[in-house]
Chain A
Amino acid sequence: MQNISSQLSIKNETEEILVIAGWLEKNFDQHNLNVENLHKFDLCANEAVTNIIAYAYNNDGKEHEIKLTFINNSSDITLEIKDQGKPFNPLKKTSSTRPENVENARIGGLGIDLIRHYMDTCSYERLNDTNIFTVSLNK
């Protein structure tokens, strides 16, 4: 059975990303969760939402909502991120190959590499014109 802990809605503006860290921290406090994992969710949420703001709306200049849901389950912590932008599966970005030197370094895909590294599971689905990206960490 799920425990839906809390939801956060933000606008598709980079300044809004700043509130995510505080919201996550509050959730971790409220549920006495291991703070070592807070940083992992902070990073993953930031990377995922930054990608959504950059790519999901084709810079249409309109205001859109991005919804985050934090779920404290008995066996894992799950974060679900929903947006109604164009279909965009971040997991399709292949892992970036490690560049050999500074000159050749490219950063595309690094965000999703970090998410994959720090989270135990990542999944994506498209449902009712909504992108749903879910990450979770086992307790």
Chain B
Amino acid sequence: MEINEEQLNGNIFKLNLSGRMDITGIGDIEKDFAAMTSAQDRQSIIVDMSDVPYMSSIGIRSLLMNGKTVNRRGGKYVLLTPQPVVKDVLVVSGIDQLLTICDSLDDAINKVTS
């Protein structure tokens, strides 16, 4: 897996994930993902899932742990456009009740800046 970040207007950070979120994929990105979500000045984080074709329980754990990190300091954290098979896993797991999933970038920007 790979992860990179881009800063949008208004101090919003979009983290772009790509690759399979399985145990090896998470191993590739976990340090960087944690660093990107733990930076104290980042209160608006969008996790772009559009390039992730596969999700496992370990991937879900990673999304939740990083979400917790942001939430604990009062920040906002949303997932953006997961692929259908991935979204299905998130819904089956009940994660859609814990984390906000957005269908468009505009929606995601609204949610993390409200």
Contact = CB atoms under 8 A, between A and B. Distances in A.
Main secondary structure of the interface of A (DSSP, over half): helix
B71 A50 contact: no
16 contacts: A14-B27, A17-B24, A18-B22, A47-B57, A50-B23, A50-B58, A102-B64, A102-B67, A102-B98, A103-B68, A105-B98, A107-B60, A110-B61, A113-B92, A113-B93, A114-B57
Contact of B56 (A103, A105, A111): A111
Interface of B: 20, 22-24, 27, 54-58, 60-61, 64, 67-68, 71-72, 85, 89, 92-94, 97-99
A47 B68 CA distance: 23
Contacts of B94: 98-99
Interface of A: 14-15, 17-18, 21, 39, 42-43, 46-47, 50, 98-99, 101-103, 105, 107, 110-111, 113-114, 117-118
Given A14-B24, A102-B99, A110 B71 contact: no
A118 B67 CA distance: 26
A17 B26 CA distance: 13
Nearest to B71: A102
Given A14-B24, A15-B24, A110-B57, A98 B97 contact: yes
A17 B71 contact: no
Contacts of A21: 20, 54
